[in-house]
A = this chain, B = another copy of it.
Amino acid sequence: MSALPAVFAAYQRRVTAELERLMPAGDGPVERSMAYTALAPSKQVRAVLVLACAELCRGDVARAVPAAAAIELVHSASLILDDLPSMDNAPLRRGRPANHLEFGEAMAILAAFGLLNLAFGTLAGAYEPPLATRLATVTSDAVGPAGLIGGQAIDLRSIDQQITFEALERIHRGKTGALFVAAATCGALTAGAAAEPIAALAAYAKNLGLAFQIVDDLLDVEGDPAQTGKAVREDARKTTFVSFSGVDGARQIAAELCETADRALAPFGARADHLRDLSAFVAARRQ
């Protein structure tokens, strides 16, 4: 697994500590299955984005930590679902056997359900009322048919099918982009940001998320499983940005999306350099 820029290491430690704290007590299979994926080594890009956006909006990073953990819980839930036999049937995730191979399919599904549920419970429990409600709405919108679930549904239908570039973009804006946008928005909301900076950060996150997904596609072709923690070429039956544009073309698109992302940061000046570091990392990562 590739490392994020060192400046984010403190964020990652906080998020990991919060996730450990949030895991349900008890050592039944569903509790262990939830922790297995939620606490597996991960870059936690989405959670880092929450905290970086909170800090950029002059918020208290500590206050944003539960929201960052909630976004990461949603992401972990979606990874468990993605890997299921009925979906991508992937054997390897985060360098370990996929959740369903370790705990069985039924328990994996319950764990995914439990992680999504825990995300909403965390938001409701950690924030005072008006903020808790807004965060839950933003998260629910990102997960629903216009976001993650919708993207995954179109993705499933596209297996062994020819799809257009636009359809592919729609899949990834749903599967990946929506939760990136929710992460940036939630981070800014915990800082009490106004509508304008929230919109700028959402624009940044939307393009960053799509770039991140394109590089994921590239790594499925080029990556070293020992580094990516996933088997190579799992997505061979799907159309990807690489199958449309080739390896060099896809990397070029990712770089351009990161430039577009960075342009949305202009109003923040040099204070947004951490987010520029993040997009530079996404554009360049080879693992």
Contact = CB atoms under 8 A, between A and B. Distances in A.
B28 A114 contact: no
Nearest to A117: B143
A129 interface: yes
A86 B33 CA distance: 16
Nearest to A124: B136
B106 A86 contact: yes
B154 A28 contact: yes
Contacts of A153: 28-30, 107, 110
A28 B145 contact: yes
A63 to B, nearest CB: 16
User: How extensive is the interface on chain A, given as a class?
Assistant: 35 or more
A114 to B, nearest CB: 5
A121 B145 contact: no
A106 B78 CA distance: 12
B107 A136 contact: no
Contacts of A125: 137
A181 to B, nearest CB: 16
B107 A81 contact: no
A261 B110 CA distance: 30
A95 interface: no
A265 interface: no
Interface in A96-147: 104-107, 109-110, 112-114, 116-118, 120-121, 123-125, 127-130, 132-134, 136-137, 139-141, 143-146
Copies per complex of this chain: 2
A50 B156 CA distance: 37
Given A116-B116, A117-B149, A24 B110 contact: no
A139 B118 CA distance: 10
B132 A120 contact: no
A192 interface: no
Contacts of A104: 86
A172 to B, nearest CB: 16
A249 to B, nearest CB: 29
A100 to B, nearest CB: 8
A114 B30 contact: no
Contact of A149 (B110, B146, B152): B110
Given A81-B109, A121-B137, 7 more contacts: A30-B145, A84-B106, A107-B156, A114-B145, A121-B140, A128-B129, A133-B133
8 closest A-B pairs (Cβ-Cβ)?
A: A129-B129, A121-B140, A124-B136, A30-B153, A86-B105, A120-B120, A86-B106, A24-B145
12 contacts: A24-B146, A26-B150, A81-B109, A86-B104, A107-B153, A110-B153, A112-B113, A120-B120, A121-B140, A124-B140, A129-B130, A133-B133
